[in-house]
């Protein structure tokens, strides 16, 4: 999966798979999280976020749902740091697809994950303080609302997912 060049001194890599009904939202989330993004012509997106010279996060937006069945979850699922499922919070069809997707993913992989609902399409009457820390669905799965119009929100989603990872440290 390592399509991005790995520098010799960058030995630690965390891989995060990004899925969801909307390819454009996958792209937007990865773009907000990474300083380096590659868009391919088969609707997949690769992004790299350098934390330090030694530690990097790679994001893989795997495109349309037809590709999910062919995706090597059994191989990638064991070594990935986590997954992010992104969808439009106001789109009922996308919500139903997300429900199915999260049920499938939690059966296929034991990795940590976060479901990210984008609220940029409409005014949200709930104060952001209510949801900025996300909601835990299990010890390895969280949910958070994200305003894709604001870049800092994406980092918040990432932070919540990493918190669940850290909470599982021995």
Partner 1 sequence: MEQGQKTTVALKPGIQLQLLRYMLTGSSPSAIIDAMQAFELIPSYQFVWEKTLELGIRIKGDHFSQSDIFKRLKTSEQYKMEIGCAEPLQRCEANDCLFQNPDCLKNKLKEQIISLYRMISEYLGIEFKP
Cα three-residue angle 92-86-156, rounded to 5 degrees: 125
Among 41, 129, 152, 168, binds partner 1 (CB under 8 A): 129
Measured from the CB of residue 104, what is the shortest distance to partner 1 in angstroms? 9
- Give φ, ψ of 131 to 5 degrees: -115, 0
Closest CA relative to residue 87, chosen from 160, 20, 29, 23? 20
Tokens representing residue 154 in the block: 């994406």
Does 19 participate in binding partner 1 (rule CB under 8 A)? no
In angstroms, give the least distance from the CB of 126 to partner 1: 5
CA distance 3 to 6: 9
Query: x/- contact string, 86-125, with partner 1 (CB under 8 A)?
Result: ---x-----x--xxx-xx--x--------x---------x
Residues near partner 1 (CB under 8 A): 89, 95, 98-100, 102-103, 106, 115, 125-127, 129-131, 133, 135, 137-138, 141, 143, 145
């Amino acid at each position: 999966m390592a399509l991005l060049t790995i520098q010799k001194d960058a030995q630690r890599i965390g891989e995060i798979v990004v899925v969801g009904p909307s390819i454009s939202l996958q792209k937007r989330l990865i773009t907000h999280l990474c300083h380096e993004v590659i868009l391919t012509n088969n609707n997949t997106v690769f992004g790299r976020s350098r934390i330090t010279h030694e530690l990097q996060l790679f994001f893989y937006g795997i495109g349309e749902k037809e590709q999910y069945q062919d995706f090597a979850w059994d191989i990638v699922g064991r070594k990935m740091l986590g997954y992010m499922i992104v969808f439009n919070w106001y789109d009922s069809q996308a919500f139903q697809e997300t429900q199915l997707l999260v049920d499938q993913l939690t059966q296929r992989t034991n990795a940590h994950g976060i479901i990210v609902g984008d609220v940029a399409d409409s005014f949200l009457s709930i104060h952001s303080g209510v949801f900025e820390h996300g909601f835990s669905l299990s010890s390895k799965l969280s949910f958070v609302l994200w305003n894709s119009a604001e870049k800092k929100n994406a980092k918040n989603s990432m932070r919540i997912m990493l918190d669940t990872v850290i909470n599982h440290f021995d």
